[in-house]
Amino acid sequence: MTTATSRHSERRISPVFVGIMAVTAVTGWATWTGFAEQPGVAVFLFVTAAWIVSLCLHEYAHARTALHSGDISVGAKGYLTLNPLKYTHALLSIVLPVIFVIMGGIGLPGGAVFIEHGRIRGRWKHSLISAAGPLTNVLFAVVCTAPFWLDALDGVPSDFRFALAFLALLQVTAALLNFLPVPGLDGYGVIEPWLSYGIRRQVEPFAPFGLLFVFALLWLPAVNGVFFDVIDAILKSLGISDLETYCGQELYRFWQGGNEFCSAAS
């Protein structure tokens, strides 16, 4: 029997998530004030911590929507605590996305929470559960870009501005990739309830390879170029220039050096 106390403990914010938020706040402050002797280190820690926060919120949105749609099992699995260590695929949801950010500046979508779809009735609810995660990335991108499209950058230090621009790029790429209607990604989860049983059965074996297929396509120069042209167009519409995202990525990858151009531009 589930008691009120157990339900409360299932939804209590994890100290792990609180710690990640603290790192985000402290390193964000260090980036803003220029406290760190090496600004790239502060930017790296700030963007990485904020990126992990967004991944946790992405998975939480899936779980919370599932809870209100009928899957009460998500609480017992620890999904409502925002603890990344509770996810069923921590490697896919946390480790690999961080590695891809470090290597290529791409917001890798993760798939972590296990939803018991048999508990949920209604196709709209199934679609909304899948959409909730990438919509969180969209909201995160709106917050990151708000100083740019509100023209409220007066007094914002250049390093912090560049870090926000790069973080916004990660959120936009994550949202766009997640919304692709490819098996294994959230975009397919949105349309899957509306497909016939036969089509779903035919597509199901390919779901574990959907993300690999997408990234194989992104290795093709032509596809990669079109993808980032779309990303750049979205960011420009939100007031972020190519220079700002470039300098944000250069600061983030501080170990490579070569950010003198951005220092001069700031």
The residues annotated with a catalytic role in the active site are 59
CA-based Rg of the chain, rounded to a whole angstrom? 19
Contact 24, 43 (CB under 8 A): no
Contact 53, 73 (CB under 8 A): no
Q: What is the dihedral sign for C-alpha 63, 67, 73, 76?
A: positive
Contact 121, 99 (CB under 8 A): no
| C-alpha span between 28 and 214 (Å, rounded) | 32
Contact 46, 32 (CB under 8 A): no
| C-alpha span between 256 and 266 (Å, rounded) | 19
DSSP-derived secondary structure letter, 150: T
Give the DSSP letter string of 200-248. HHHHGGGGGGHHHHHHHHHTSHHHHHHHHHHHHHHHHHTT--HHHHHHH
Q: Number of C-alpha atoms within 13 angstroms, CB side, residue 210?
A: 23
Helix (H) or strand (E) holding 44: helix 39-69
Tally of residues, the chain: 266
What amino acid occupies position 151?
A: D
Burial code of 104-125, b = ≥16 C-beta within 10 A, e = fewer? ebbbbbbbbbbbebeebeeeeb
